[in-house]
Amino acid sequence: MKVLVTGITGRIGANLAAALVAQDHTVRGLVWARDARVEKLEGLGVELQYGSLTDPDDVRRAVDSVEAVYHLGGAFQGGGPFTTDEYFEINVRGTYLMLEACRALGTQLKHLLFASTDALYDKYVPGGMTEPIDPDRTPRRPRGWYALSKSLGEELCHGYMRTSRMPVTVLRFALVVGAGEIADFHQFYLSRLKETHKDLAPLWEQSGGDERLVVVRDERGRPWRKHIADVRDIVGACVAALGNEATYGETFQLAGPAPFTWDEAVPYLAERLGIPYVEGTARGTPTYYEYDLSKLRRVLGYEPRYGINRMIDDAVAFKRGAAIGVLPTR
């Protein structure tokens, strides 16, 4: 199948392109001039087209003759800063232009897959989430222009599915961790957490300024709980969705096999890195949520593989120079 990947220079886009090529798909990538990190794509045999999602002609050229589109490109929080105008133009109008160009392909288009985000959920609430987040039942409550623009993008996609019978699937990504990144995750490190959670500052003073990892608990004594995804699980689910008619018109949450807790992850990471850890309580709104992935497993047919210990093992190995089958983040 001939496939277009927008956002091909990102951590997900580049690894997705490699996975698609490995399955004998022909891949074209739309490269934005402001994010032209194409070195990681060398040797993959992908076609690169430079252009902008905000230019109708560029978008039409990008979709010309393709059969499927992974629309990953967009303005996002970690790639900015972006103005509110840019969030609207790139993420909302850019998605509209992509949908219009794909509509013009008619029956040649077999599938459009839209990358959305878990930022649509209000995950950080007093006391933490009481139930797993379900993509079909948990309300969307986007805050900020990034989340709002993705919510509008979802509405556009489902609207084109209803009105034009376009085969569209929405994939909401959890926080995605690339090669080596989980070992540096800022919420594991006391030096960084003490700046945002003043209750932990005395632990830093007791450490004498030496770095420590920290097992954080909330006011009820529960360790923080979080659900993220290794980039390989995001890519695996994206590939599994391609051409799967059962996914048309549906929304899926993508994440790792299970959430992790700080009392599980931090001691293991401390052992692997040789950094001591301490325990502390952070008052206020905790990190405490997880996703219901039953629809991902049942309908899309994908079983996530990379749990927190595997991610830590691979991150440490990657930082020490081992090859783990993941393209660099940058």
pLDDT of residue 34: 74
Tokens of 269: 């990471």
Contact 265, 313 (CB under 8 A): no
Considering the domain boundaries, does residue 192 fall inside one? no
**Which pLDDT tens digit goes with each residue over 25-36?**
999 999 988 777
| Confidence class for position 88, pLDDT limits 50, 70, 90 | very high
What mean pLDDT is predicted for residues 7-11?
92
| Confidence class for position 321, pLDDT limits 50, 70, 90 | confident
What total of structural domains would you count in the chain?
1
| Confidence class for position 329, pLDDT limits 50, 70, 90 | low
Q: What percent of the chain has pLDDT over 70?
A: 98
Query: Comparing C-alpha atoms, which of 157, 18, 11 is closest to residue 73?
Result: 11
pLDDT of residue 179: 80
Q: Specify the CATH number for the domain of residue 81.
A: 3.40.50.720
Three-state secondary-structure class, residue 26: strand
Considering the domain boundaries, does residue 328 fall inside one? no
CA angle 123, 126, 129 (to 5 degrees): 45
**Which pLDDT tens digit goes with each residue over 241-281?**
999 999 999 999 999 999 999 999 999 999 999 999 999 99
Considering the domain boundaries, does residue 272 fall inside one? no
Indicate the average pLDDT of the chain: 95
- How deeply is 274 buried, as exposed, middle or buried, from its count of CB atoms within 10 A (0-12, 13-18, 19+)? exposed
pLDDT of residue 327: 63
- The range of the structural domain enclosing residue 124 comes to 2-174+230-255+291-305
pLDDT of residue 283: 94
User: Residue length, the chain?
Assistant: 330
Considering the domain boundaries, does residue 139 fall inside one? yes
**Which pLDDT tens digit goes with each residue over 179-201?**
889 999 999 999 999 999 999 99
Considering the domain boundaries, does residue 128 fall inside one? yes
Q: Is the pLDDT of residue 330 over 60?
A: no
Considering the domain boundaries, does residue 204 fall inside one? no
Considering the domain boundaries, does residue 69 fall inside one? yes
pLDDT of residue 328: 58
Distances from the Cα of 80 to the Cα of 34, 86, 126, 141, 196, angstroms: 10, 10, 29, 22, 21
Global confidence as pTM: 0.95
**Which pLDDT tens digit goes with each residue over 285-302?**
999 999 999 999 999 999
pLDDT of residue 39: 87
